[in-house]
Amino acid sequence: MSLREYIDKLRGSGKEYVFLGKLGREYEVTRHAYQVRNRIVEFELEDTGIHCITNLISNRKDLYTILGVNNDVEAYEKIIDAIANPVKLEKVDFNEYFEETSYTLEDMPFIKYFREDGGYYLTGSIIVACIDNICNASFHRIMYVNENEAVVRIVPRHLYQIHISYSERGEDTPVAIVLGADPIVELASAITTRYGLFELEIAARLSGDNRIALTPKYKIPVPVTTSIVLEGVISRDKLVEEGPFVDILGLADIKRKQPVFQLEKIHVNKKYPILYHAIVPSLWDHIFLMGFPREAMIYNVVKTVSPNVKSVRLTIGSGGWLHAIVSIRQVKPGEARSVGMAVVTAHPSVKHVIVVDDDIDVDDPHMVEWAIATRVRGGEDIIIIRNTHGSTLDPRSRGGVGDKVIIDATKPFDEPWEKYKRVKIP
């Protein structure tokens, strides 16, 4: 389905929707998204004529609706299955779905979300690149430079590896930038998988739609329901300053030299409505798209050491990234600590892990705090792992190296349950 069809699906499930008319490029989108969290916000971005939406995914129910599941475990299992069983893609004629335009980057939905941002950004931008029959699709923020150039933030992951390989050959990196992808493609593109596993094949398994089209010049595969495709190259040697930019924790990232995207052609979809997902940094869309696929990875690893895992949460307060809470039903001594170590293995960016019993609601921070208050003895139940790989998003890390804390907030295994059982309201 197209992005518009997924919006209709969410509205059919009861999610509220509001159209705000024209909004400016500076700050207005952020303010409105923050004020009406549980409504899909649609607007026309001034000077572009492009319709945009935000707050597409503002709670877990939205994810269930998009994935066609009823709860977290079903969602995790569906994502895990898609990673294990990707679907071969079917090529269709690019010209059947897309037409070339005379647009430049000036016509694209670059937005300045916060006063701290160093420029105007594309945030709902997925870059697809291929080399030697290996393809990758991943999210990257892109800052406007001029009508033909933008600067791309590339962290050392798979696109970085592809870009380095092209640069070592003395070549620029051919890419397609996908704008207005459907949320299944977005979820798949947010998954960190092994190098060589193409995220669009994961999306095809999740959605049942395996159609892709190859861009005219560089033959880059893109989903046929995509609204806008920018075709061009990432320069092998031209760098400009990118940033500051507000990250998922609501902190302003630093300026740094990053490679330049050089536009060649812009194509728009002629079969599906043109619509762009304006992801507000550090708000709900950003947190759920980035964090939820990682929850599935945590669940998959944790269940190998604790088959009775009930819930996994990367918390909203930590940007859906740095804090994990896992609830389990203990069946053996030491199980909670093994779970904590499994979380660290599954999600190396995690900073603090709290493991609780299955009577604790992981979505209720007061209950989690109560578990810490009543079931933790500091000298026995807090494990500190010093100077290990973490997240560069953590301002207390030094170059991504920091400490991890595992808190075993479960009932001591060898003590009676009645001692730690919370009474119920009569």
pLDDT tens column, 110-144: 999 999 999 999 999 999 999 999 999 999 999 99
Give the pLDDT confidence score for residue 399 in this predicted structure: 87
pLDDT band at residue 151 using 50, 70 and 90 as cut-offs: very high
Segment 244-251 mean pLDDT: 96
Question: pLDDT tens digits, residue range 2-19?
Answer: 999 999 999 999 999 999
Segment 355-373 mean pLDDT: 97
Give the pLDDT confidence score for residue 290 in this predicted structure: 96
Distances (CA, A) of 323 to 317, 320, 347, 424: 8, 7, 10, 28
pLDDT exceeds cutoff 90 at 312: yes
The two most distant CA atoms of the chain are separated, in Å, by 73
CA 369 to chain centre: 27
Residue 110 · residue 124 · CB < 8 Å: no
Segment 315-332 mean pLDDT: 96
For residue 318, the 8-state DSSP code is G
- Looking at this protein, which amino acid is placed at residue 127? I
- Mean pLDDT rounded to a whole number for the chain: 96
Phi, psi angle pair for 74, to nearest 5°: -60, -40
The set of residues, in sequence order, having a beta carbon less than 8 Å from that of 126 and lying 6+ positions away, is 137, 138, 139, 140, 177, 178, 181, 185, 186, 189
For residue 253, the 8-state DSSP code is P
What residues does 423 pair with on adjacent strands?
A: none
Residue 368 · residue 354 · CB < 8 Å: yes
Instruction: Give the N- to C-terminal CA distance of the chain in Å, as an integer.
Output: 48
Residue 310 · residue 84 · CB < 8 Å: no
Residue 287 · residue 34 · CB < 8 Å: no
Question: pLDDT tens digits, residue range 385-411?
Answer: 999 999 999 999 998 899 999 999 999
Q: Please tell me which residue in 62, 72, 209, 247 is annotated as part of the active site.
A: 247
Q: How far apart are CA 196 and CA 185, in angstroms?
A: 17
Phi, psi angle pair for 102, to nearest 5°: -100, 15
Q: How far apart are CA 180 and CA 186, in angstroms?
A: 9
Phi, psi angle pair for 180, to nearest 5°: 80, 35
The hierarchical CATH code for the domain 306-419 is 3.40.1670.10
pLDDT band at residue 314 using 50, 70 and 90 as cut-offs: very high
Residue 252 · residue 245 · CB < 8 Å: yes
pLDDT band at residue 346 using 50, 70 and 90 as cut-offs: very high
Question: Domain 72-276: which topology?
Answer: Pnp Oxidase; Chain A (2.30.110)
| Domain ranges, ordered by start, for the chain | 72-276, 306-419
Place of tokens 């804090």: 323
Residue 395 · residue 380 · CB < 8 Å: no
Give the pLDDT confidence score for residue 37 in this predicted structure: 85
117 catalytic residue (yes or no) = no
Segment 174-181 mean pLDDT: 98
